[in-house]
Structure 1
Amino acid sequence: MVPDVSTGSRSRGLLSYLFGPGRRDEHTDPHIVAAFAMPGIPDPGRAPLDQHHTLLSELADYLDQPVRVREQRTGKKVPQHVWHCPVRTAPGDRYLTDEEWAEVARRIVHATGIAPDGDDDACRWIAVRHADDHIHIMATSVREDGRRPRTNRDGQRAQTECRKIEAELGLRRLKPGDLTAAPTPTSAEQAKAQRAGNTTTAREWLRDEAYAAAAAARDEAEYFSILTTLGIKIKYRLGPQTGDVTGYSLAAPDDTNGHDEPVYFSGYNLAPDLSINRLRERLTAHDLTDQPTARTSGPGPWHQADTALRHLHTSLLYQEPEGGEQQDSVLQAHAAAFGELLHNTAATAPTPLRTELRAAATSFNRANRSAVRAEHQSATALRTAAKELLHTLGSDKDGGGLASLLSTAVLTLIALARWNEARGLRQQATAAHQTLAHLQTAYRQAAQPVLADLTSRTPSPHTTQRYATVLRAAIPDQATRILDDPSWPALATTLAKTESTGQNPRHVLAGIAQQRELDTADHPAEVLNWRLQHQTTERQAARARAATARPHRAGTAGTVPASATGATPPRTPQPGREVPRKLR
């Protein structure tokens, strides 16, 4: 059961909608099921057609009477005096009778402070039903005694009451809200998108683009620059004293109102973590010394991101039992950086993978919004690796680096979902599982051609059998599952490549098997293949770094190397050797 509280200023306009045919003729039999005073209250839905509009006006005036009295007494107009709360059952729930909906309405107005039980001076309200699965509760937010009702946190209180009603009426139990959900598009926004032939509303499109821009940006200026290049209009809110930016709003291209003016949405109204303050916390944590720079050598960007993700995965698996809020803040920061990694991976991956990766990034936006405050400075390494995907010249010639990264991302996401579940963050955990479905599909798309190529280059049967014997000795408990895995031939090829670099296959297999248990892996040979490839790349990178850092033999201080002048360097005496005299 889903309540959705909002406010407005036109009682007559809302009543016309509630008792009208709807925007797409979807309203059937509109009628009042409950009210603050049922006997004698006009019901336009059950009146003859020739009296319909007259009764609408009478009902609006009747509900507005306390509002008009207050305005006459104070000499000021009451702002946003119309309180509106649709309440909808979940798909698949049973049909509720008018009597049951009436009880739901009475409990909602009591819980939200609109009309507490037994309060004769409470606000005037009605509940209208015009469909099988929902009602609309409308109230005017001035009490009979002229005071405004105490409706602070009314949306949260309505949610809490709905959870109780679901249990009592045997309805589907929805997840409790935590005030971190992004605002949903209004019915007017949805209808506008349908008329324009768009699958998403302007609000949703702006939200997705803002998240992607935040993932790519290195600072606040670049964030707004990226949005501008997309044709998005930006309106800044400036402080009256300092002139500093204290907020911003975005408008989609060609999205205008009836006056041909851009329709702006503030960052907070797109999503709580897109407000200017939350953005600054994330962007300023990315220090200038950690900015990505173009690379032409060393491990590729996919490998670097994979390494950073493996560290996060290990942290999630081995959390301190008494880590408390500090540990949660660190892990929440890494979850935010993981979201940026998904967005940047979607932007740079091969085209066939981008649809699923974008869907994964969009789903994870909800999983990342949490009441846990993130300590963004602690996730610098992962965030830098995520931005390297956009600012690095490296390439992934065979696709193995990306496939390995996505394999690690799947494992990390599973661990993040469990972390959310352990802390009672049910909405975030559900969003993480939705993300997982898209991410697993993208992984299969990336991994299949790589594994097929490795399989086509499987070593000779004799060599493959030798590796099987080595495997049984190194990982006896899992050997049968690994050898039965369809990806075993691909792993054998990777073992051959590893052995060619001078590594002992048995020692390597034993080492990578200890990185994490294999019992829960559906395809243990695949898991070992990516671990082995990653370790080999790390080994090669370490050797390259060591060679670069090794000091070169040079001349003594104050001398010029021969290569710099073209002259022959002077000969110096060697210990125990005499310099021959020059012959005359």
Structure 2
Amino acid sequence: MITRVHRRGSRVGGLLRYLWGPGKAEEHANPHLVAAWDGAGPLTDLEPKATASGRRDLRALTALLEQPVRAGYRPPNKFVWHASMRLAPEDRRRTISDSTWASMAVQMLTEVGVATTATDAGLRWIAMRHADDHVHIVATLVREDGRTNWMRNDYPRCVKATYNVARRYNLHRRVPPADRTVHRRPHPVEVSKARRVGRAQTPRDELRRRVRRAVAAAGSEEEFFARLREAGVLIRLRHSSNDPKMITGYAVALPGARTADGHPVYFGGGRLAPDMTLPKLRLRWGNSTPLPVAPTVGRAERIEAMRQAATVATAAADDIRRDARSESGRAQATAVAAADLLTSLAYAMEGNRRGPLHRAAEVFDRAARDLYGRVRRSTSRSQEMRAMSRLVALMGRISGDDDAIAALALVMNLARLADALEQLQHAQQRLHQAEAARAAADALRLVAGGRQPAVSAPLTPTPIPEPTVGDGRRAGRGR
């Protein structure tokens, strides 16, 4: 079930005429009230009566809904609040009675703050039904005591309340509230420009992937900036106004992405993802153990690195399960470091050609991210995981059967870690991230089982990124 909050209006009568009319987008069959505000009286008295012409006389109901607005103190210009509750396709097989719809609507509106008891001079509202799979709710935003209820943040509150109602009534489709862990989506202007110049990726998407790769393979900001330059990214550093030697932030750009005047289009780290600002990256790296600048790289060393990483991933999964309820911050730091390890492994196996392992790494990164861009302090286990990420990155590309087998064993261990991450997110009621962790675990098992082999790119691969521009429409926001 989902609840959609429509645009606010100023004409109660016009909205009611549409709801009791024949409909435009769909046919309205048997429109009738199922619930109303506490103190409204019997629904049979509120129900608009049919006239001799067959139309409904909506004047009495309109006047009742508008009465607090007319008597209110400085009412808003747009005082009509309109929402609709709709069942998902898999729940439409169930026959839901009017009384059940009324109960679901009242519970949702009570949690949101629209419905109140008769002792509280709240808003006037109605819930009407003209189809089997949804109801419409109309409310006027002036309380009976004359005050205005501005209904701020109404959409996220409705999503959360609808999710709770869907759980109580055991509906199949339940849309959890937003958790603010999805990275910034490209603006429609960026998508349109990428289409015009023939890009498969917007510069923001391409930069985010290159920055993520550099973050996973670096242990300090100096190494981070060096890896970005090696990847062909333009960097602009921001210095402190008090101490010019202190770096407080950065912005990145692609050499080929420029404005009409020929200037590079820079994006700050926070505009790529909520956890990619420089202060958060410093907290994420912590005090990393330095690795050799030029370690010995060979097949035997690569196999040993994969085996070490697999052992650490198994221990990290155990830590996450143990700390899921008692030490969620420690488990979160370990999960973020595991996302870095998977990112490095994806580039080691697939290079710049984005295959199933790259896509699984991006889903895993979303599942491991903390709310609102927060970054937990590093722990000994997260530092160990991040050291393995840097080691895998330094070992270079997979080039033979033996190291490929060791890499697939690491992929399977990371799938088990994704299972532990799903348990962690369920324990914290972060259901979007739990779903992402489950999707990452399934994708990793497909790769490890050979049913979706990782892309085997040539030694000098040509980047063929997965298109995100599509037909020019902006991708929908995640929750």
| TM tier relative to shorter chain | 0.5 to 0.7
Q: Which residue of 1 aligns with 2:408?
A: 406
- Other structure's SS at 2:449 match: helix
Alpha-carbon distance in structure 2 between the residues aligned to 1:64 and 1:229? 65
Q: Which residue of 2 aligns with 1:316?
A: 317
Tell whether 2:284 aligns with 1:285. yes
Query: Is the 1:127–1:135 contact (alpha carbons within 8 Å) kept by the matching residues of 2?
Result: yes
Q: Which residue of 2 aligns with 1:386?
A: 389
Partner residue in 1 for 2:474: none
**What code does the residue aligned with 2:111 have?**
A
Report the Cα distance in structure 2 between the residues aligned to 1:416 and 1:323, rounded to whole angstroms: 13
Structure-2-length-normalised TM-score: 0.58
What CA deviation, in whole Å up to 9, does each residue of 1:304-363 have, x standing for no partner? Answer: 36523421312433679689644x322221211222333343345337984311331233
Matched-pair contact (CA < 8 Å) for 1:336–1:368 = yes
Alignment of 1:41-190 (within 5 A): 66=69, 69-71=72-74, 85-93=83-91, 94-119=94-119, 121-127=121-127, 132-149=132-149, 158=158, 162=162, 165-166=165-166, 169-172=169-172, 174=174, 179=179, 182=182
Task: Give SS of 1:330's match.
Answer: helix
AA in 1 matched with 2:28:
D
The question of whether the paired residues in 2 share the 8 Å contact of 1:86 and 1:135 is answered with: yes
Query: How far does the alpha carbon of each residue in 1:407-430 deviate from its partner, in whole angstroms, 9 at most, with x for none?
Result: 223223324424643763563444
Question: Could you tell me which of 433, 450, 457 is aligned with 2:438?
Answer: 433
Distance 1:365 1:285, change over 3 A: closer
User: Equivalents in 2 of 1:8, 1:183: separation in Å?
Assistant: 26
State the partner residue of 2:340: 340
Matching residue of 1:487: none
Q: Cα–Cα, structure 1 residues 331 and 411, in superposed 2: closer, same or farther, change >3 Å? A: same
- TM-score, length-scaled by structure 1: 0.50
1:29 is matched with 28
Contact 2:72 2:145 in 1 (8 A): no
Shift of 1:116: 1.5
Q: Is the Cα–Cα contact under 8 Å of residues 10 and 82 in structure 1 kept in the other structure? A: yes
Give the 3-state SS of the residue equivalent to 2:294 in structure 1.
coil
Query: Quick check: 2:357–2:444 contact (8 Å CA) kept in 1?
Result: yes
What secondary structure sits across from 1:118 in the alignment? Answer: coil
> 2:467 maps to what in 1?
none
Q: Which structure has more helix as a fraction of its residues?
A: 1
SS in 2 for 1:87: strand
Matched to 1:361, the amino acid is A
Please report how far the alpha carbon of residue 398 of structure 1 lies from its aligned counterpart in structure 2 after TM superposition. Answer: 0.2
**1:441 to partner: Cα distance:** 1.9
**Residue in structure 2 matched with residue 424 of structure 1 by the alignment:** 427
Q: 1:175 to 1:310 in 2, by over 3 A?
A: farther
% same residue: 20
Aligned mates of 1:320, 1:81 — CA distance in 2: 49
Q: Which protein, 1 or 2, shows the higher relative CO under an 8 Å CA cutoff with sep ≥ 6?
A: 2
Q: 2 CA distance for matches of 1:26 and 1:302?
A: 60
2:446 equivalent to 1:444: no
Say if 1:433 and 1:168 are closer, same or farther in 2 by CA, change over 3 A. closer
Whole-angstrom CA distance in 2 between matches of 1:288 and 1:47: 78
> Residue 19 and residue 315 in structure 1: after superposition, are their counterparts in 2 closer, same or farther (change >3 A)?
same
Which structure 1 segments of 5+ residues have no match?
Answer: 197-201, 255-264, 450-584
User: Could you tell me which amino acid in structure 1 is paired with residue 87 of structure 2?
Assistant: T
Task: Name structure 2 gaps, 5 residues minimum.
Answer: 196-200, 242-246, 258-266, 455-479
- Pair member with larger Rg: 1
Give the whole-Å Cα distance in 2 for the aligned partners of 1:277 and 1:295: 27
What is the RMSD computed on CA atoms of the aligned residues?
A: 6.0
Aligned length: 394
Are the equivalent residues in 2 in contact too, given 1:341–1:383 (CA < 8 A)?
yes
Q: How many angstroms apart in 1 are the aligned matches of 2:438 and 2:155? A: 26
**Contact kept? 1:337, 1:383, Cα under 8 Å:** yes
Matches within 5 A, 1:352-363: 354-363=354-363
Change (3 A) 1:395 1:159: closer
- CA–CA distance in structure 1, aligned partners of residues 323 and 162 of structure 2: 34
Q: Aligned to 2:85, what secondary structure does the other structure show? A: strand
